[in-house]
Amino acid sequence: MKFYVSLIAFKCDSKQKIEKILKPILYHIQNRVATVTLNRPEKRNALNQELIAELSDALSNAEQDDSVKAVILKANGNTFCSGADLDQLRAMQSNSFEDNLKDSANLANLFKKIYTLKKIVIAQVEGYALAGGCGLATVCDFTFCTPESKFGYTEARIGFVPAIVMVFLVRKIGEKKASQLLLGAEIISASEALQTCLVNYIVDKSEIENSVQAFAQKLIIQNSTQSLAATKTMLVEVQSKSFQEALDYAAQQNAIARGTDDCKKGIQAFLDKKEMKW
């Protein structure tokens, strides 16, 4: 069992006042699950460049750690993520195009990392997930939420554009449903999010922690690590190919899978009528 936890630092100013500084991300590993927790509850877990960078690093650590098979993304406080930090929104008004492009690219790279991570990523949404915060929930492989959770791509309300999340949302739920959410810019309920396939499961607040953990363990035990990684990669790749290219690619991946150790062990267990625990 490994634990990586936020450190609390103390800094004294000229008046000897003590300022408590918390890291924006908490990270720990238990039972082959890496739990990554947004830790800016006083800022409604708003996204700034420090949080984006540390979240990206945490995901890279999870991907490279052979003891980790699944990742849970959750948050401290009453809000999952409210979108961009107010200070960052103010800075956007005076930033150069190059500065804004760099910031945008960082967020785009974070979303891509979650979407293409070779480990399963499960979002545990409690409270509001808005704008970029809703984007975080969107790019995960599975999303659990509570009945009280709210979702919205609200960028158009402040003259902004939900540009980055659009790339992923259209792939996830299709253009018609994505248009309704992105152009309407409405905040929707958990039940509406379930109907539009934005979330997978709604669980009572008192049960969501255990439900997400149990779901992660089910995936870990019953499914091959190699198979999960290969399937995630294919889900990304097949959508950009023509019909025949996708078929040729699928045939190639099928043939590659047959030669993997996991496939050989899994098939042998099936033939021997033994339960395979990965």
* Residues in Cβ contact with 191 at an 8 Å cutoff, skipping those fewer than 6 apart: 147, 202
Mean pLDDT of 147-164: 96
Q: Each residue of 110-131: pLDDT tens digit?
A: 999 999 999 999 999 999 999 9
The highest-level CATH class for domain 2-222 is: alpha beta
Q: Edge-to-edge strand order for the sheet containing 25-30?
A: 2-4, 25-30, 33-38, 70-75, 120-125, 142-145, 201-202
**Measured distance CA(120)–CA(230) in Å, rounded:** 11
Question: What's this model's pTM, rounded to 2 decimal places?
Answer: 0.89
Tell me if residue 209 falls in helix, strand or coil.
helix
Annotated catalytic, 155? yes
**Measured distance CA(52)–CA(49) in Å, rounded:** 5
Out of 50, 54, 155, 245, the active site residue is 155
Mean pLDDT of 98-106: 93
Mean pLDDT of 38-47: 96
Q: Each residue of 43-88: pLDDT tens digit?
A: 999 999 999 999 999 999 999 999 999 999 999 999 999 999 988 8
Domain ranges, ordered by start, for the chain: 2-222, 225-271
Report which listed range, 8-17, 18-27, 93-102, 194-203, is most confident.
194-203
